[in-house]
Amino acid sequence: MTEILVSEDNDRFERLDEGKWVNGRFDKNIRIDQPTHGVGQTHAHVYGRKGDEIGVVNIDGSSSHGTQCRLSDADADALRNRGFTIRAGNIVEWIVLGTQPQLLLG
């Protein structure tokens, strides 16, 4: 297996993990990516027929990258078959929380 390592300073390296393309409503229109930099969730970029991005959904069904969308039944089923939790109605929403209290130490 070939691995690609990238570095900005030749001191620290990260493995480059390219996404896995899967079929949904169209041939290979969904790219499943692993979390970057060890944080976040596995997520999927869903594309339309002309290659435009419809939305990005986390494995828990929440939105990623600030997108909101409604997935087609075929795209939602393809993601469910790969362990994604997609809500009824195939709705993927981004929820903005109000300002949270902060504790300042100093």
- Residue 102 covered by a domain: no
In-domain check, residue 99: no
**Tens of each residue's pLDDT in the chain, 106 residues:** 455 566 678 777 666 666 899 999 999 999 999 887 667 889 999 999 999 999 999 999 998 877 789 999 999 999 999 999 999 999 998 665 566 666 667 5
Residue 103 within a domain: no
Residue 105 lies in a domain: no
pTM above 0.85, yes or no: no
For residue 59, the model assigns a pLDDT of 93
The domain total for the chain is 1
Structural domain boundaries enclosing 15: 4-93
- Is 106 inside any structural domain? no
For residue 8, the model assigns a pLDDT of 72
- Supply the DSSP string of 27-94, one letter for each residue: TT-EEEEPPSTT-S--EEEEE-TTS-EEEEEETTS-BSTT--EE--HHHHHHHHTTT----GGGEE--
